Amino acid sequence: TSELPSTFTIISTNPTGTFSHKFTPTEHTYFQNSLHDKERDTLLRFLHDVKDYLETNVEETGKVIEILRDSGFLVEVKEGSVQGDETIENDNSPPKDHSQTIPTNVDPNFNLDIFTLCRFLRANKYNPSGALTQLSHYMQYRVKENPYHITPMDFQSRLREKAVGWWQGRDKEGCIFFVLRPQFHDPKSRIMRDALLHCFYMAENVIAKMNNDGVDEKNRYVVVYDGRHLSLNMMDFPIVREFSKLNEYYPERLKTVYVLKPGWVFSSILYAAKKIMNPQTASKIVTITDYAQLFEHIGCDQIPEEYEGTSTYQYNHEHLWLPHDVAAFDLSEEECDKMIEQRKSLLSGEDAPTRKEN
């Protein structure tokens, strides 16, 4: 039976040094209990490919290694110590909130743990070559965009719009879900860059929440898509193409998209789109014709009243789309109020952090 090594070690010339990640007991347990023999063998080959990529593509990966080091995923092995030494420890504490600081190399959402690597492998049907290509694009994206440090001040035009979507609550399996109302999106007035930063901001925040819950390969999100009023003039195909990058940068994170009561226009578009989609992706899109169907998957108390649920939560921009700003995410009323007050200063521009362009 294949075994996971004790450490994942990189010998780097830029930055110079030996850097190691000690696999956690949780990773070892997942490797042994949740993967089949063939999947374990493929993952071990993929680990070797990732190591080779990071060590040989020096100019491209130097910044990646620095970020992984500064974020605590990789620990520098001091001269004279043995690779895999039991004294090498990784910081497994929850990600720190850097949202109010000027961006640095710290990016706790960025790691190459077993769960992350398996997501890239699954997205590529366990083809290591395809997974490595996708992973390299993901690493380049994190270096270029520095997404963990995006703040609402980076997409101010979105703050003036009526809420198109927000993180609302959890489904019956505990997955965070997002309410999306395309009828409030105006393709003519939107600024592409702001829309993308907004999207990445929400993705980063929900992934941070998932990681705080406990890193698990099953941590996925759900979308409740309001298809009742969608018409052709609301369709923003350029932005849909750009948003498709989310699947590349955050593979296997989407659990299900529930499309609520779509009209014939959207139903026709969806039918045609599913024909050319990856079958696995297409299977995640579920049409809801009766709200009772939705309640089978998400509790009525989590669903907004406009969809015949009983949740009285009213989103406003002071919450800034953050999933941990609402009571559904197990914070006390006092903690919620404190977070909202902190983020009001962002809306007013007070003490706004400056985004560093790479």
Tens of pLDDT, residues 97-142: 444 443 467 888 898 999 999 999 999 999 999 999 999 999 999 9
The encoded tokens of residue 309 equal: 């649920």
Average pLDDT over residues 252-272: 85
Q: What SS3 class is residue 42?
A: helix
Average pLDDT over residues 261-288: 81
pLDDT of residue 242: 74
- Report the alpha-carbon distance of residue 291 to residue 121 in Å, rounded: 35
Q: How many CB atoms lie within 10 A of CB 311?
A: 21
Pick 184 or 109 by higher pLDDT.
109
Pick 253 or 272 by higher pLDDT.
253
- Report the alpha-carbon distance of residue 77 to residue 85 in Å, rounded: 9
pLDDT band at 154 (very low <50, low <70, confident <90, very high): confident
Q: Are 257 and 223 in contact (CB under 8 A)?
A: yes
pTM, full prediction: 0.79
Question: Which of 13-22, 163-172, 232-241 has the lowest average pLDDT?
Answer: 232-241
Nearest CA to 227 out of 277, 294, 276, 310 is that of 294
Secondary element (H or E) of residue 114: helix 114-123
Return residue ranges of the chain for CATH 3.40.525.10.
152-348
| Domain 152-348 annotated CATH 3.40.525.10 | yes
Place of tokens 């702001």: 194
Q: What percentage of the chain has pLDDT greater than the value 90?
A: 40
Q: How many CB atoms lie within 10 A of CB 342?
A: 15
Average pLDDT over residues 75-84: 66
